[in-house]
């Protein structure tokens, strides 16, 4: 009887090794393709989300200020300005003013804006100051229930149904009163009056320190320095509609250069162009909103 002989495995042949390497490369290539595709999709979605977020964020700020333009509490009469400041930033009865790309902003604006873009100045006293009157006012001050926390020099509006005064607070933040220096309120205000914070805000587009276009604002009651609101805002275009004797929109929306009396504007149409700041994923989105001035509409 002949016994079968068994030889032990001595290794892979060159052909087997090459086939194994080829299969490995195909497998790694597939995995790499899936990874790169997923990475590109993630980067594109991130860039798109950034663009949409920046556009919505910028529109939220503009919408809030425009809707409240001209608000001065319960006051229905003209604002009594006790500040001595008379340029467009402090005339609350003219709730807004705009400049299109070919128009120059007055020289109280010391910044720069991106060529071809519009700018808009919006004023209101919709923000609560945090101070609550405790008694009727004297001719130049009104007591509050506690220390106001309002810095000296802050612009405030004192308002009730009879009238309203814009003044620069002369009292320290630790005082339980706000007051005006060198002037008198238009009338004695009751303890039910509103003490409101005046806001005058200019919106414009400029490049930031990284060279990306951004929406900026300057709040002239808060240090008057430019603040970056939203990055990636490449363009701001605004059209305006005036109202008839009843306050309803009359005619078409027009550019700022066509407005002769800004006190008649009742609505604004905002168009923002937002772009991606990621050069590898260039994207552009346009956001448009039509906003009525609540204090002007019927």
Measured between alpha carbons, how far is 52 from 39 in angstroms, rounded to an integer? Answer: 20
d(CA 32, CA 165): 69
Tokens of 11: 């290794």
257 contacts 99 by C-beta, under 8 angstroms: no
Query: How high is the pLDDT of residue 281?
Result: 75
E strands, 76-118, are 80-81, 96-99
Whole-angstrom distance, CA of residue 287 vs CA of residue 290: 10
Closest CA to 234 of 124, 114, 134: 114
Residue with tokens 């989300």: 49
Q: Which residue in this structure is represented by tokens 């919006």?
A: 122
Kind plus residue range of the DSSP H or E element containing 41: helix 14-67
- The ranges assigned to domains in the chain are 47-292
Phi-psi region of 84 (alpha: psi -120 to 50; beta: other; left: phi over 0): left
Output the pLDDT for position 97. 96
Q: What φ, ψ does residue 102 adopt, rounded to 5°?
A: -85, 0
DSSP state, residue 14: H
Phi, psi of 202 (to 5 degrees): -105, 125
Alpha carbon distances (Å) from 229 to 201, 205, 237, 275: 12, 10, 16, 15
Structure tokens belonging to residue 189: 């205000």
DSSP conformational letter for 112: -
In 3D space, the residue among 228, 234, 217 whose CA is nearest the CA of residue 272 turns out to be: 234
| C-alpha dist (Å) from residue 202 to 12, 27, 106, 113, 148 | 77, 58, 12, 11, 27
Contact 272/233 with Cβ under 8 angstroms? Answer: yes
pLDDT in tens, the chain (298 residues): 555 555 565 666 777 778 888 888 888 888 888 777 777 776 777 777 888 999 999 999 999 999 999 999 999 889 999 999 889 999 888 899 999 998 999 999 988 999 999 999 999 999 999 999 999 999 999 999 999 999 999 999 999 999 999 999 999 999 999 999 999 999 999 999 999 999 999 999 999 998 999 999 999 987 778 999 999 999 999 999 998 867 778 889 999 999 999 989 999 999 999 998 877 778 889 999 999 988 776 6
Beta strands in the chain (DSSP E): 80-81, 96-99, 119-128, 141-143, 155-159, 164-168, 177-179, 194-207, 213-219, 226-231, 233-243, 249-254, 265-275, 284-292
């Amino acid at each position: 009887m002949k016994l079968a002989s068994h030889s032990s495995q001595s290794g892979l042949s060159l052909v087997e090794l090459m086939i194994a390497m080829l299969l490995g490369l195909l497998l790694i290539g597939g995995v790499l393709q899936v990874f790169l595709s997923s990475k590109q999709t993630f980067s594109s979605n991130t860039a798109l989300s950034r663009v949409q977020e920046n556009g919505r964020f910028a529109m939220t700020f503009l919408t809030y200020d425009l809707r409240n333009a001209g608000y001065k509490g319960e006051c229905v009469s003209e604002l009594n300005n006790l500040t001595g400041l008379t340029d467009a930033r402090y005339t609350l009865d003219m709730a807004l003013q705009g400049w299109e790309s070919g128009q120059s902003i007055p020289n109280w604006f010391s910044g720069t804006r991106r060529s071809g873009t519009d700018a808009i100045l919006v004023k209101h006293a919709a923000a609560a100051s945090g101070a609550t009157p405790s008694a009727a006012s004297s001719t130049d001050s009104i007591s509050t229930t506690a220390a106001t926390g309002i810095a000296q020099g802050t612009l405030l509006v004192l308002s009730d149904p009879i009238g309203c005064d814009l003044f620069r607070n002369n009292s320290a933040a630790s005082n339980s009163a706000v007051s005006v220096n060198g002037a008198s309120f238009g009338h004695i205000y009751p303890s039910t009056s509103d003490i409101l914070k005046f806001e005058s805000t200019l919106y414009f587009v400029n490049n930031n320190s990284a060279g990306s276009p951004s929406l900026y604002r300057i709040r002239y009651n808060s240090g008057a320095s430019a603040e970056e609101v939203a990055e990636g805002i490449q363009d701001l275009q605004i059209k305006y509609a005036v109202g008839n004797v009843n306050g309803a929109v009359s005619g078409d929306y027009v550019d700022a250069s066509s407005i002769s009396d800004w006190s008649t504007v009742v609505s604004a149409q905002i168009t923002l162009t937002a772009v991606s700041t990621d050069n590898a994923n260039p994207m552009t989105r346009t956001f448009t909103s039509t906003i009525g001035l609540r204090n002007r509409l019927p």
